[in-house]
Structure 1
Amino acid sequence: MIASILQFMRRDVTRGVAGTILLKVGSGVLAFALFSLAARTMSPDGFGIFATWLSVAQIAAVVGLVGQESLLVRFLNEYQVGERPDLTKGVLKSSLKIASLAMLIVIGGIAIVASMRGNWWLLILAVSAYTAVNAGLMLGSQIARSLVSILMGEGNREFLWRAIVVLFLLVMLLVHRQLDPAEMFAAMTIAMSVGLVAQIVSVARVLPDLRRTPARSETSRWRSSALHFWIASILEVASQYLDVILVYWMLDPTTAGVYFAASRLANIFAMVSAALYTFGARRLPSLYFSKNLREFERTSRLMAEVTALCVVAGLATIWIGGPYLLNLFGPHFAEQHSVLIVLAIGTAIQAAGGPAAAILQLTGHERIYVPVVAANVALRLVGFLVLVPFLGVLGAAISTTVSLALATIALNVLCRRRSGVDPSVLVLLRFPASRRGNYAVRSADSRD
C-alpha cells in the first residue's frame, strides 16, 4: 500500500493537482484568518455590513470584466498550441480595452447607488477602489496563469495580499483597535495592489516577442464567446455571494455576518473545485486542442482521485472541528454549526462533481453551461423566499445546498454527453476497459 501511495504521489499530474490544491488551501487558510480576525476587530453589525459590501464588490468586479477573464483562458491556450502570436496579442489588447471601459461604468454605478442609499462617502470610495483593483487582479491572474505559471497567477491573486492583510489585522487586534468597513476595504485594496503590480511585471517579462508582432483579431469569435462567458461568470459569482446580500436584506446585518462566516468555512470544498479549475484551465485545453486524448483521460482520472481524498478529509474536518472553527469568529458564531454542516454537504457534492464547468467552457460548450448556472441561481432565490421566513439562516443553507447538488448533477450529465468525459469522482468506480470505451473526447469545433 505504501508503494502504491508513493507511486501515486510521483505522478506529474498528481503533483500538479496537489500543488495547486495546497496553494488554494493555503490561500483558504489565510482567507479564514482574514475574516475571523476582521470579525474580531469589528462590531457584529460592522462585520455584517463589510461582508455584504464585499459580496456586492465581488459581483460588480465580475460584471465589469465582461467575461474577458474566461475569454483569455479559452483563447490564449488555443493560440499558444496553434503558435499564433498575432492572435495572442490581439486578444490581449482587446480584452484589456473592453474590461477597462466596462469597469469604469460599473464603478460609477456602485457610487451612484451607494450614495442614493445614504452610505458614508469614505465607504463608497473604499468599495469602488477595491472593486477596480480586485477586477484587475482577477484579469491579471488569468493572463499570468496562462503565460507564466499557476503560482504567479493564483499566488498573487489568492495568497500574497491576504498574508499582508492578516499581518495588518493582527497588529490591529494587538493594539485593541476597532476597524470600520471603510478601513477594512482600504487595507485590502492596498495589499491587492501589491499583487497586481507583481503580476504586471511577470507578464511583461514573457511578452517581448509580441511587441514586434502585428495584432490580429477574430472579433466575431471573441464577442460570441465573451457573451456566454460573461453571463456564466455573473451567475457563478451570484451563486457565491448573492446569498449574503439576501440574508442581509431579509434578516439583519449580524445574521448576514454569521452566514458569511459559515459559508466561507464551507468553502473548504470550493477550494478543491477552484484548484481543479485552475489546474484544468492550465492543462486540459492544450491536451484537448492537440487531440492528446490518452493524456486527457489520464489527467481527468488522477484529478478525480485527488478530489475524493480531499472531500473525505474535508467532511471529517467540518463535522468534528466545525464548532471550534466558528468560535474563532466569535462566541455567537459557534451556535451555527448545523448551518455549517448543511452548507458543507452542498459544497462537498459540488467538489465531488469535479471540473465539469471548466471542461464544458474550455472545450467550446459554454452555451449549455449558462442555463444550468441560471437555473441554480433561480432555484436558490426561490428557496430563500420560501424557507428563510420559516427557518431563518438554516433555510438559506438548505436552499444553497439543494441548488448546488442539482446543478452539479446537471453539469456532470451534460459534460459526459457533450465532451465524452466524466469529471466526477464516480469515474473511479469504472474499470479501465469500459472507461476506454466510454471516453471519446469530441472535436473542439462541435457546437450546440
Structure 2
Amino acid sequence: MIDPIVQFLRRDVTRGVVGTILLKVGSGALAFALFSLAARTMTPDGFGIFATWLSVAQIAAVVGLVGQEALLVRFLNEYEVGDRPDLIKGLLLSSFRISAVAMLIAIAAVALVAHFRGDLWLLILAVSAYTAVSAGLMLGSQIARSLVSIIMGEGNREFFWRVFVVLFLLAMLFGHRQLDPAELIAAMTIAMSVGLVAQIIAIARALPDLRATAASSEASRWRSSALHFWLASILEVANQYFDVILVYWMLDPATAGIYFAASRLANIFAMLSAALYSFGARRLPSLYFSKNHREFERTLQLMAEVTALCVVAGLAMIWIGGPYLLNLFGPHFTAQHSVLIVLAIGTAIQAAGGPSAAILQLTGHERIYVPVVAANVALRLVGFLVLIPWLGVLGAAIAATVSLALTTVALNILCRRRTGVDPSVLVLLRFSALRRGRYAVRGADSAE
C-alpha cells in the first residue's frame, strides 16, 4: 500500500503538479486570510464596496491586456521548441506595445465611471493603479512561467505580495484601526509592485541576448489568436468577478460582500483548476508541439489522479468546516453555509473536468472555446436575473453552479472530439479498466 504511494510521489510530473497545487493552495490561504481580515477591519458596506471595485479592476486588467498574456503562452513555447529567437523578440515587443496602449484606455474608462458615480478621488486613483499593476503581473507571470519558473511566475503574482498585505491587515486589526476600501487597495498595489519588479528582473536575466537579433513577425497569426484569447479571457474573468458586481447592483453592498466571501472560499477548487492550468501551460505545449504523445497522455493521467484526491478532500472540508471558515469573516457570514456548499459543488465539477480549456487554447482550438464560455456567461446572467429576485443570494449561487457544470461538460466533450484527449478525472476509469483487462489476460495465460 505504501510502495505505490511512494512511487507515485517520486514521479517528476507528480512532484510538479503537487508543487504547483501547493503554491496555489498557499496563495489561496493567504487570499482567504487577506479577505477575512479585510472584512474584520471594514464595515459590511465597506467590504462590499471593496469587493466590487476589486472585481471591476480585475475585469479591466484583463480587458486592457487584449489577450496578450494568453498569446505569449501560446507562441513562446512554440518558438522556443522551434528555436526562433527572432520571433520571440518580435512577439515580446508587439505584446508590450499593444498591451500598454490598451491598458491606458481601460484605466481611463474605469476612472471615468468612478468619477461619474461620484466616488472619491483617492478611491479612483487606488483602483486605477491597482488595475495597471495587476495587468503587469498577469503579463509578466506568463512570460516568467515560460522562461523562468512557475514559482517566479505564479509566486510573484499570487503569493509573496499577499504576505505583506496580510501582515499590514493584522497590524490594523490589533491596532483597532478601521480601513476604507481605498486604503486597502492602495496597500495591495504597493505590495504587488514589488513582485512586478522582481518578475521584470528575473525575465531580463532569463531571456537570451536578443539585442543583435532582428525581430520577426507573424502579425496575422498573432492578431487572429489574440482576438480569440482576448474574448476568452474577458469571459473567464467575467465568470469569476462579474457575479459580485451583479449582486451589488441587484441587492446591496453588504450582500455583495457575503457572496464575495462565499465565492472565494468555494474557489478552493478554482485554485486547483488554476494550478493545473499553470502546470499544464508550462509542460503540455512543449510536449504537444514536439509530438511526444506518450508523455503528453502520461502527464494528463497523473494530473487527473492528483485532481481526484484534491476534489474529494476539498468537498469534505467545505461540508464539515464551512461554518467555521465563514465565521472568520464575521458572525453574519456563517448563515450562508448553504450558499458556500452550492458554489463549491460547481467549482468542484469544474476542477474534476481538468484543464480542458487550457488544452483547447494551447493546441490551436481557441476559436471553439470562446462560444462555449460566452454561452456560460449568458446562461449565468439569465439565471441571476431569474433566481436572485426569487431566492436572493442563494439564487445567484445556484445560477453560477448550473452554468459552470454545463460549461465543464461541454468543454470536455469538445476537448475529446477535437484533440482526442480526455483531461477529466474520468480518464482514470479508462486506465483502471485497461489495467483490469491486462490482469485478466495474464490470469488467463497463467491458467493455460
TM-score (norm 2): 0.96
Report whether the alignment pairs 1:333 with 2:333: yes
Corresponding letter in the other structure for 1:65? L
Tell me the equivalent position of 1:404. 404
Q: How far apart, CA to CA, are the structure 1 residues paired with 2:113 and 2:56?
A: 11
| Aligned counterparts of 2:221 and 2:208: Cα–Cα separation in 1 | 26
CA distance in 2, matches of 1:158, 1:395: 30
List per-residue Cα deviations over 1:293-330 (Å, max 9, x = no partner). Answer: 00000000000000000000000000000000000000
Amino acid at match of 1:191: A
Q: How does 1:41-190 map to 2 (within 5 A)?
A: 41-190=41-190
Instruction: Tell me the CA shift for residue 113 of structure 1.
Output: 1.1
Deviation at 1:433, TM superposition (A): 8.2
Q: Secondary structure at the match of 2:118?
A: coil
Aligned pairs for 1:218-237 within 5 A: 218-237=218-237
Encode CA deviations 1:1-57: one digit per residue, 9 max, x unaligned: 110100100010000000000000000000000000000001100000000000000
> Aligned partners of 1:246 and 1:87: how far apart in 2?
42
Alignment coverage as a number of residue pairs: 435
CA distance in structure 2 between the partners assigned to 1:171 and 1:262 by the alignment: 25
Distance 1:33 1:129 in 2: 23
Return the alpha-carbon distance in structure 1 between the equivalents of residues 406 and 340 of structure 2: 19
Aligned amino acid, residue 338 of structure 2? S
Partner of 1:247: 247
Residue 269 of structure 1 corresponds to which residue in structure 2?
Answer: 269
For structure 2, the residue ranges without an aligned partner over 5 or more in a row are 436-448
Match of 2:3, as an amino acid? A
Runs of 4+ in 1 over 4 A off after TM superposition: 432-435
Q: Sequence identity, in percent?
A: 84
Q: What residue in structure 2 maps to residue 382 of structure 1?
A: 382
Instruction: Give the aligned partner of residue 19 of structure 1.
Output: 19
Mapped partners of 1:323, 1:290: distance in 2: 48
Matches within 5 A, 1:313-352: 313-352=313-352
Report how far residue 423 of structure 1 moved.
0.1
The aligned residue for residue 368 of structure 1 is 368
C-alpha separation in 1, matches of 2:211 and 2:174: 50
1:226-268 CA-partner distances (Å, limit 9, x unpaired): 0000000000000000000000000000000000000000000
Q: Distance in 2 between matches of 1:105 and 1:381?
A: 26
Q: Deviations over 1:146-182 (max 9, x none)?
A: 0100000000001011111001001001111000000
Residue 216 of structure 1 corresponds to 216
- Counterpart of 2:35 in structure 1: which amino acid? F
Q: Which amino acid aligns with 1:300?
A: L
Measured in 1, the distance between the counterparts of 2:106 and 2:237 equals 15
Per the alignment, residue 446 of structure 2 pairs with none
Q: Distance in 1 between the 2:165 and 2:431 partners?
A: 48
What is the CA-CA distance between 1:431 and the residue it aligns to?
Answer: 3.4
State the 1:208 CA deviation: 4.2
Cα distance in 1 between the residues matched to 2:90 and 2:236: 27
- Cα shift at 1:206: 1.4
C-alpha distance in structure 1 between counterparts of 2:217 and 2:434, whole Å: 43
**Within 2, Cα distance between the matches of 1:272 and 1:111?**
33
Give the 3-state SS of the residue equivalent to 2:210 in structure 1: helix
Shift of 1:219: 0.2
* TM-score, normalised by the number of residues in structure 1: 0.96
Alignment-mate amino acid for residue 57 of structure 2 = A
| 1:31 alignment partner in structure 2 | 31
Describe the SS at the equivalent of 2:234: helix
Q: Hey, what's the Cα distance between the residues in 2 that align with 1:276 and 1:265?
A: 18
- Tell me, in whole angstroms, the C-alpha distance in 1 between the residues paired with 2:22 and 2:328: 22
- Pairing 1:427-446 to 2, within 5 Å after superposition: 427-431=427-431
Q: How far, CA to CA, are the matches of 2:157 and 2:185 in structure 1?
A: 16
CA distance, structure 2, for counterparts of residue 303 and residue 93 of structure 1: 34
- What secondary structure, in the 3-state scheme, does the structure 2 residue paired with 1:431 have? helix
User: Aligned to 2:423, what secondary structure does the other structure show?
Assistant: coil
> Equivalents in 1 of 2:10, 2:206: separation in Å?
30
State the SS of the aligned residue for 2:59.
helix
Secondary structure of the equivalent of 1:422?
coil
Counterpart Cα distance in 1 of 2:407 and 2:106: 29
Structure 2 SS opposite 1:210: coil
How far, CA to CA, are the matches of 1:269 and 1:433 in structure 2? 27
The offset of 1:209, in angstroms, is 1.7
Counterpart-to-counterpart distance in 2, 1:214 and 1:176 = 58
Mapped to 1, the partners of 2:246 and 2:89 lie a distance apart of 41
Corresponding letter in the other structure for 1:270:
A
State how far apart, in whole Å, the 1-side matches of 2:394 and 2:167 are: 33
- Structure 1 letter corresponding to 2:262: A
Q: Which amino acid aligns with 1:138?
A: M
> Structure 1 unaligned runs (5+)?
436-448
* 2:312 maps to 1:287: no
